[in-house]
Amino acid sequence: MGDLARGRSRGSPRHVAPAADADAAVVVADAELAPRLDAVPAASTVRQLRTVGALAAEPRSSLPDVPDDRRAMILYTSGTTGKPKGVVTTHGSLRAQVTSLVTAWEWRADDRILLVLPLHHVHGIVNVLACALWSGARCDMLGQFDALETWARIARGDLTLFMAVPTIYHKLIAAWEAAPPERRREWSAGCGRMRLMVSGSAALPVRTLERWREISGHTLLERYGMTEIGMALSNPLRGERRPGFVGTPLPGVEVRLVDERGAPVVAGTPGELQVRGPTVFLEYWRRPDATAAAFQDGWFRTGDVAALERGSYRILGRSSVDIIKTGGYKISALEIEEVLRTHPAVAECAVVGVEDAEWGERVCAALELAPACDLTLSELQGWVKERLAPYKVPRALSVVRALPRNALGKVMKPEVAKLFRAPHQR
């Protein structure tokens, strides 16, 4: 599923790339979004467009029986390669992902959740929507996240669950702080019937957890997951939720930490987090080499570095500097660099993620310009917006005479990141 899924971005060929890569035959869209499909090339496999309204009007039919190993879903994710890859999950892996969460977080038919996340990622489509459907619970949807609308919905006091990325909690806190006292009281009271509020997709800053607790009375449950594996680690529903930690393996999930040679590390030592079990995806769509490279002895290599401390896992960072997490979206620095290099004024470039209190990381670009060329941040942003999703657009620009390189001529990304930090943080 691509950006087409919900009303987030304006029409351009980038929205139809996943539909084309996945060989989609039928596209189901909201009538309002249907015109975007005009950009689908005539040669593509898309034969039919169905609108949600038309589908809903058709007579109901019963669901077919499908084998567990049949492919069920493709979600596109960025990695250390330039182009996003299609992550294929089967009916069996989806069932395992959903039942793991339904069990751990005790979903019930009388739960009611508000979906504020996009449907083209696991967080929205599996953790929120599929778990609600599986449990017979109710899922209310916002067209897209809006802090005031979300607070107004929470204030009604009938939600029992809420799940979001740290940036959304940051934005809800900012809206609460800007609101008059009466409104604040209403909003905080609305959290009263909630039984669980979850944060994930990126590291939850401890100060966000603490402020949210003051405002809502809830200690956010932080969990860790990835498109390829669904959710892997979670703080407990009952019991101590440790700030800065992501807890222990969820039901059905096995994890291990290994060193660079793939050998399990001794307790207390950081290592790459690897995951095994029925929740793990089948393959990257039509990328057998990438699929093979993603596994080591049957374990999925997450590329995240973690440590086990007093029985709970802590995520320490990623093994690649080329992966950026911004607003909960994973993006590839290499994908943005490839696009920037096609700009006539750009001779060479380096894209980095720089820590940011609101977005987790912000996309920043350092450029060497071609002779006699000039480029401002807003010109660059306007040009990139035509070619990439909005959250991939650089938020800061540094024009340099020469990018920092090591003796082998390789760009040193940590040095590039320093160009964007305040002097005291360098």
**Residues forming the site for ligand AMP (CB under 6 A):** 77, 122, 200-203, 222, 224-227, 246, 302, 304, 315, 318, 325, 330
Give the DSSP letter string of 199-223: E-SS---HHHHHHHHHHHS---EEE
Which own/partner pairs from 3-9 qualify as long-range (CB within 8 Å, at least 24 positions apart)?
Answer: 3/120, 3/389, 4/29, 4/33, 4/36, 4/37, 5/118, 5/119, 5/120, 6/118, 6/119, 6/120, 6/143, 6/144, 7/32, 7/33, 7/143, 7/144, 8/118, 8/144, 8/390, 9/389, 9/390
Question: Which of ligand AMP, ligand MCA, none does 301 bind, CB closer than 5 to 8 A by kind?
Answer: none
The minimum distance between CB 84 and ligand MCA, in angstroms, equals 12
**DSSP-based three-state secondary structure for 72:** strand
Question: Of 86 and 327, which CB lies nearer to ligand MCA in the complex structure?
Answer: 327
395 binds ligand MCA per the rule CB under 6 A:
yes
How far apart CA 129 and CA 139 sit, in angstroms, is 7
Per CB under 6 A, which region of 23-31, 222-230, 299-307, 340-348 contacts ligand MCA? Answer: 222-230
The minimum distance between CB 394 and ligand MCA, in angstroms, equals 9
328 binds ligand MCA per the rule CB under 6 A:
yes
Question: Which of ligand AMP, ligand MCA, none does 332 bind, CB closer than 5 to 8 A by kind?
Answer: none
Question: Which of ligand MCA, ligand AMP, none does 203 bind, CB closer than 5 to 8 A by kind?
Answer: ligand AMP
How far apart CA 13 and CA 26 sit, in angstroms, is 18
Residue nearest ligand MCA by beta-carbon distance? 327
253 binds ligand MCA per the rule CB under 6 A:
no
Per-residue mark of binding to ligand MCA, 362-381 (x: CB under 6 A): x-------------------
Question: Of 78 and 291, which CB lies nearer to ligand MCA in the complex structure?
Answer: 78
Is residue 280 within a helix (H) or strand (E), and if so which, with residue range? Answer: none
Q: Please report where in the chains the tokens 């992966």 appear, as a residue.
A: 323
Question: Which of ligand AMP, ligand MCA, none does 315 bind, CB closer than 5 to 8 A by kind?
Answer: ligand AMP
Question: Of 211 and 395, which CB lies nearer to ligand MCA in the complex structure?
Answer: 395
How far apart CA 377 and CA 363 sit, in angstroms, is 12
Cβ-in-10-Å burial (0-12, 13-18, 19+) of 41 comes to exposed
Q: Please report where in the chains the tokens 């929120």 appear, as a residue.
A: 128
The minimum distance between CB 231 and ligand MCA, in angstroms, equals 7
Question: Of 242 and 362, which CB lies nearer to ligand MCA in the complex structure?
Answer: 362
The minimum distance between CB 165 and ligand AMP, in angstroms, equals 9
Q: Is 230 left (phi over 0), alpha (psi -120 to 50) or beta?
A: left
Chain positions contacting ligand MCA, by CB under 6 A: 117-118, 121-124, 144-145, 165, 167-168, 200-201, 225-227, 326-330, 359, 362, 390-391, 395
